[in-house]
Amino acid sequence: MAYVYADASQLTASLRQPANLAKVRIAYRDTLHEQLRALSKQSRWADAIRLWQHLHERRLLSPELCLDAASCLRHLKKPQDALAVLQEAFETYAASVSADWLEQCGDLALQLGKEGEPLAEKAFKKASERLLYIKTSAPAVP
């Protein structure tokens, strides 16, 4: 309806603007990530992993998406695959993620058994280093 009432010259100029491909890719990834989470809540782990594989093939990953994928793989009783996803995510994102993400990565790695312990140790160490430099303000003393 809005286009019907729009000024024709402004409409033409707007339609000729190229879409920001980076924003479109991120929106696509985020939409599928929400679908992956919905499938996970329904315990449809294999379907969720298919979505993750689709995004992985297109290099449309995020740190949170990798944690969710590793969790799905853990539920599918594929600890080696889950650990591989976590390891790849840690190597890719460790320099830029929050301490909270690093802790979640470490926690999930520990849930994968003895093989996950070295990654968990690295993740927890990185998280504690990150927290060491966070400045907080003390409450005012009356």
Tell me, yes or no, whether 13 lies in a domain. no
* Residue 116 included in any domain: yes
Q: How distant, in Å, are the alpha carbons of 29, 54, 105 from that of 45?
A: 18, 14, 19
Residue 6 belongs to a domain:
no
> pLDDT tens for residues 98-141?
999 999 999 999 999 999 999 999 999 999 998 887 666 656 66
How many domains are there within the chain? 1
Structural domain boundaries enclosing 56: 20-132
**Does 4 fall in a domain?**
no
Residue at 83 is within a domain: yes
For residue 12, what are the CA distances in angstroms to 8, 9, 15, 16, 126?
6, 5, 5, 6, 51
CATH number at residue 128: 1.25.40.10
Q: What is the pTM of this model?
A: 0.78
Residue 142 included in any domain = no
What pLDDT sits at residue 73?
A: 98
> Domain for residue 124, yes or no?
yes
For residue 14, is it within any domain? no
User: What mean pLDDT comes out for the span 27-48?
Assistant: 96
